[in-house]
Amino acid sequence: MPEVEVNGTRLFYQQSGEGPDVVLVHAVTSNQAVWTFSGLPDALATDFRVTTYDMRGHGASARPATGYTSAGMAEDFRQLHTALGLKPALLVGHSFGGVVSMHAAALAPECVAGVLLSDSFFPGLKHVEPNFGKMSIWVDLRETFTRVGVELGDTVDFARLFRETAALPPEKMKQLEDIYGAFGRGWLRQLPRLAETTCGDEVLAEAGLTADVLASVAQPVVALYDEFSPFLATSRWLEQHLAKCVAEIIPAAKHFAMLDNTAGFTDAVTRHLKRLTQTTYPPGPPP
Amino acid sequence: MRTTEDLLAALAEVVRNTFPDRDLPEPVELTTRAFADLGFASIDLVVLAERLDAHFGRRLPFGTFLKGLRDCGAEDLELGELVAFLQKHV
């Protein structure tokens, strides 16, 4: 299994294709399978060298007790980038993966040629985002957990989600597994394990990625926000305050664009990556 | 072309070697389901795909295969479907 030891942990990664480096960064409680099942790595591998990896605590990577802020995970990325010998890469970050990507762009600009965000919320932009903590997927989650007698609260609280799931008696866990079905069961079973870490509290911390730091990112950024995203104020702020940011709405999507509208998301990602590649890596011999 | 029986045996061996700590049903059959019977999570299929690449010595288009499953609304994956995929590509 391709793994790399970085920043005191072990990360599971996959790589395919040849060309400019693209790294896909998944969301919190997700893993790189979300990209695999979307078909995006295969679609990009004809033009790019595509790296996907599981962030610490997620998927098949190790699960250390701490280090789950966007700053910590940006450092994981920086060391993975070095260990794999990547060129300055274009990052595609979904949700919290986009926060990690932007933090990496700010902290390690030599590793990041550009960032494509997919429906990311930034704790450092809480003051401009009226819908902080009011994601529709949290509403869906809360309603589902209510069916087994668990109250998760009105606003996104990963620590509470992990803690409550860890405390579920087996018969209620089984009820939830039946509700989520075969594909959702693995997602559900990882939640109690994350309760043993600081992930729940740390992923919603600003961790140094303030509005000023975000605005200082000089690399090109593409803000791909979903049609039914609660974070469209964030998208507008990024477009107005970043030096090189363009925004685009992915139709018929509500946070999981790569699955909600696979064709539309794949088209937008491919189009912007090719555009950024021509800007970042112009044709012709290297200078 | 490799026979269905050969590929199922190879697949079962790779599954056992990849997940040695799992309590897997014995024997596995074409109708054995990856999620419901083997207890897989989606990431396990990514790990298994990498191991099958190594076993057969070539990059298999797993992403396209798994996306196809999702597109047709599949609720699980029978090993027979994986064997058919392998038969097409190895």
A and B: number of Cβ contacts within 8 A: 72
Give residue B25's pLDDT: 87
Burial of A172 (C-beta count, 10 Å sphere; 0-12/13-18/19+): middle
Does B43 sit within 8 Å of A54, measured CB to CB? yes
A76 and A94 part of one domain: yes
Domain count, chain B: 1
Q: Which domain CATH number covers A213?
A: 3.40.50.1820
**Domain range for residue A24?**
3-129+203-280
A235 and A215 part of one domain: yes
Q: A155, A184, A201: which is the final residue of a domain? A: A201
Quote the CA–CA distance of B2 and B39 in Å, as a whole number: 27
Domain count, chain A: 2
Q: Which domain CATH number covers B82?
A: 1.10.1200.10
Give residue A1's pLDDT: 73
The ipTM of this complex is 0.92
Quote the CA–CA distance of B48 and A141 in Å, as a whole number: 29
- Token digits for A37? 């099942």
Quote the CA–CA distance of A81 and A108 in Å, as a whole number: 10
Q: A144, A176, A201: which is the final residue of a domain? A: A201
User: Is the residue at A287 inside a domain?
Assistant: no
Mean pLDDT value across residues B9-32: 92
Closest to A152 in 3D by CA, of A173, A171, A133, A179? A133
A212 and A254 part of one domain: yes
Mean pLDDT value across residues A262-274: 98
A118 and A191 part of one domain: no
Mean pLDDT value across residues A112-133: 92
**Domain range for residue B84?**
4-89
Q: A201, A230, A251: which is the final residue of a domain? A: A201
| A242, pLDDT greater than 70 | yes
A47 and A123 part of one domain: yes
A15 and A68 part of one domain: yes
Q: Which of A62-76, A240-254, B16-30 has the lowest mean pLDDT?
A: B16-30
| A109, pLDDT greater than 60 | yes
| A235, pLDDT greater than 70 | yes
A34 and A154 part of one domain: no
Interface of B with A in 28-87 (CB under 8 A): 33, 35-36, 40-47, 49-51, 59, 61-64, 66-67, 70-71, 75-76
What is the pTM assigned to this prediction? 0.95
Closest to B68 in 3D by CA, of B80, B50, B82? B82
| A57, pLDDT greater than 80 | yes
Interface of A with B in 254-283 (CB under 8 A): 259, 262
- pLDDT digit string, tens, across residues A36-54: 999 999 999 999 999 999 9
Residue A181 forms contact with B (CB below 8 Å): yes
Mean pLDDT value across residues A3-26: 98
- pLDDT digit string, tens, across residues A128-160: 988 777 778 888 999 999 999 999 998 899 999
User: Is the residue at A225 inside a domain?
Assistant: yes
Q: A197 by DSSP, 3-state: which?
A: coil
A192 and A212 part of one domain: no
